[in-house]
Chains A and B, each alone.
Chain A
Amino acid sequence: MRAFNAVFTRDLRVAFRRWSELAHPLVFFIIVVTLFPLALSPTSAQLRELGSGVLWVAMLLSSLLALDGLFRSDADDGTLEQLLLSPAAITVTVLAKVAAHAVVTLVPLVCLVPLAALSFNIPLVALPTLVLALVLATPTLSVLIALGAALTVSLRRGGSIVGLLVLPLTSPLLIFGARATDLGINGEPTAAPLFLLAALAALALALGPIAIAAAVRVGLE
């Protein structure tokens, strides 16, 4: 637990010292969300129908943008090797890094999505569902992103491949997240997709760190 706290606070501190990088995914998200109405020039009723899908896709795409910094800079300056040498379990260290990354990149995104949702005429009553679905999707998403980052940590030109690796794996999140949002908009019960999102989160948090730790270890060999 001490190791978790140490890595977590250290990663947060490093992230906030380079805060302009933190803003990139947010700006990207806003741009993507703006591009969709420009391309489709929809009526407000159509906007509401498209909205949840557009928001979830934009959220997935912009979360990919931030993943390069997760392991790369620490691997470059040797910090990651030192962390692996420490007596703490690698899975704990990795989980702390993933958590810190999620806090600095995904949480601002999650805060931004409801605002964008309002601009898409998504009714206020659906917002709690949307936020809950996003919160439940965040652990899975951050584990998958971290996995992509870990698998490509030793590659110079890894950036373009990561999308290929991570996006197909995120499709269940997209399905259940967008479905929950849609059901919320229509005022139908949303428990089923939300429970499924929670189950995915539990699975990702249980198994993900093992895979990420293995990938990091191989990457630094």
Chain B
Amino acid sequence: MRLPRWFHQLGSPPHVYRLADRLAPWLGTLGCALLAIGAVWGLAIAPPDYQQDEVYRIIYIHPQTAYVAMMAYVVMAIASGVGYIWRLKVAHAAAVSAAPLGAWFTFCALCTGAIWGRPTWGTYWQWGDPRIMFETLLLFQFLGYMALRSAFDDRDKADKVTAILAVVGVVNVPIIHYSVEWWNSLHQGPTIMRFGSPAMTADMLWPFLTMVLAFTLTFYWLLLRRLQAEIVEREGDARWLRELAPEGAQ
């Protein structure tokens, strides 16, 4: 099977750098615009919840953060796998760029969850809650990935070793997810109120989905910019990079 040309080109750092340079402004503008629209729509226009009143409005931020955190792990693992199998340095660079973003989003998901938990559950932190545990363990996996990476001096080796860890981790993520889900349910029913059992009404759902799209686009915007920085760092003073730099900086 012949691979299409655009796929080959994704292996070339200069090509990816320029592609990212062209895509990033679009993603950034669109993502930020949608963030603004979704924030106003969700925080001001959408109706208050019949049970949680105004407190529920963090639903326009918290689930999106958690979702992007998980997506970051999957992106990292796929990029790692592609990088390991086809030996694409750009893919490794993408995985490296995704890791800190994912860790931050996971951390933010935990923080926003705690902020939401206080008024609704009466506590910031509940050790028994499966989702909190899942996010915490996800954060540990991101941290482990980054710690392992920073322990290596040799970048090529770090790429390959951490790629294996990321792929193993992504197999483990659903296992951890279900094990924490079943952890208490083996024993007792869910004691904590769960959102989502009554389906969301349309005037809440649309701003929710707008925010999902906004968070996704913003994530990829940040990812592309980080990827560019990572490529610059890896390529050092390659000729194509010097040609890109402004006159005075050369």
Q: A183 CA to B180 CA in the complex, in Å?
A: 17
Contacts of A175 in B (CB 8 A): 179-180, 182-183
* A196 adjacent to chain B (CB < 8 Å): yes
Q: A211 CA to B175 CA in the complex, in Å?
A: 17
Instruction: Name the one of A147, A155, A168 contacting B137, with C-beta atoms under 8 angstroms.
Output: A168
Q: For residues 107 through 149 of chain B, which have their beta carbon under 8 Å from a beta carbon of chain A?
A: 137, 140-141, 143-144, 147-148
Instruction: Name the one of B147, B167, B179, B187 contacting A171, with C-beta atoms under 8 angstroms.
Output: B179
A211–B168 CB distance below 8 A: yes
Contacts of B179 in A (CB 8 A): 171-172, 175-176, 196
Contacts of A219 in B (CB 8 A): 157, 161
Instruction: Name the one of B137, B157, B183 contacting A218, with C-beta atoms under 8 angstroms.
Output: B157
Using an 8 Å CB-CB cutoff, how does the interface string of A162-206 with B read, 1 for contact, 0 for none?
001101110110011001001100000000110010001001000
Q: A89 CA to B183 CA in the complex, in Å?
A: 38
Chain B nearest CB, measured from A158 CB (Å): 7
17 other contacts beyond A172-B175, A211-B167, with CB at 8 A cut-off?
Answer: A155-B151, A157-B151, A161-B147, A164-B143, A168-B140, A168-B176, A172-B176, A182-B187, A192-B186, A211-B168, A214-B84, A215-B161, A215-B164, A218-B160, A218-B164, A219-B161, A221-B157
Contacts of B147 in A (CB 8 A): 161, 164-165
Q: Which residue of A lies closest to B138 (CB)?
A: A168
* A118 adjacent to chain B (CB < 8 Å): no
Q: Which residue of B lies closest to A212 (CB)?
A: B164
Q: Return 16 A-B CB contacts under 8 Å, by A number.
A: A151-B148, A151-B161, A157-B151, A158-B151, A164-B148, A167-B140, A168-B176, A169-B141, A172-B179, A175-B183, A203-B175, A211-B167, A214-B84, A218-B160, A219-B157, A221-B160
Closest 4 CB pairs of A and B: A172-B179, A168-B140, A218-B160, A164-B144
Q: A165 CA to B141 CA in the complex, in Å?
A: 7
Contacts of A152 in B (CB 8 A): 148, 151
* A91 adjacent to chain B (CB < 8 Å): no
Q: Is the interface of A mostly helix, strand, loop or mixed?
A: helix
Q: A207 CA to B171 CA in the complex, in Å?
A: 10
Query: Given that A171-B176, A172-B176, A176-B179 are known contacts, is A218 also in contact with B140, CB under 8 Å in the complex?
Result: no
* B172 adjacent to chain A (CB < 8 Å): yes
B151–A165 CB distance below 8 A: no
Contacts of A151 in B (CB 8 A): 148, 161, 164-165
Q: A189 CA to B164 CA in the complex, in Å?
A: 38
Contacts of A165 in B (CB 8 A): 144, 147-148, 165
Chain B nearest CB, measured from A193 CB (Å): 7
Chain B nearest CB, measured from A58 CB (Å): 19
A161–B151 CB distance below 8 A: yes
* B104 adjacent to chain A (CB < 8 Å): no
Contacts of B84 in A (CB 8 A): 214
* B14 adjacent to chain A (CB < 8 Å): no
Contacts of B161 in A (CB 8 A): 151, 154, 215, 218-219
